[in-house]
Amino acid sequence: MGNELPCRLHHADKSFSGKALLESSEIIFRGEVRLKIGFSAITAIQARDGELRVRTKDGLAVFELGPQAAKWQEKITNPKSLLDKLGVKSGQSVSLIGDFSADFVARLKKQGATLNKSKLAKDAPWIFLAANEKQDLQCLTSVRKVIRGATGLWIVYPKGQQSIKEADVRSSGLKAGLVDIKVASFSPTHTALKFVLPKSKR
Q: Are residues 92 and 172 in the same domain?
A: yes
Q: Give the CATH number, domain containing residue 63.
A: 2.30.29.30
Per-residue pLDDT tens for 4-24?
999 999 999 999 999 999 987
**Short-list 127, 175, 123, 128, CA closest to 149:** 123
Cβ neighbors of 81 (< 8 A, separation 6 or more) are 107
User: 3-state class of 20 per DSSP?
Assistant: strand
**Short-list 122, 82, 117, CA closest to 99:** 117
Per-residue pLDDT tens for 104-138?
999 999 999 989 886 787 778 999 999 999 999 99
Which domain covers residue 63, as residue numbers?
A: 3-77
State if pTM tops 0.85: no
- pLDDT value at residue 144: 93
C-alpha to C-alpha distances, 75 to 7, 18, 134, 189, 196, nearest whole angstrom? 18, 21, 34, 21, 26
Q: Are residues 164 and 96 in the same domain?
A: yes
When pLDDT is averaged across residues 162-170 and rounded to a whole number, the result is: 95
Q: What angle do CA 147, 149, 155 make, to 5 degrees?
A: 45
Q: Are residues 44 and 119 in the same domain?
A: no
Q: Give the CATH number, domain containing residue 169.
A: 3.40.50.150
Domains contained in the chain, number:
2
Which of 57, 77, 97 is at the close of a domain?
A: 77
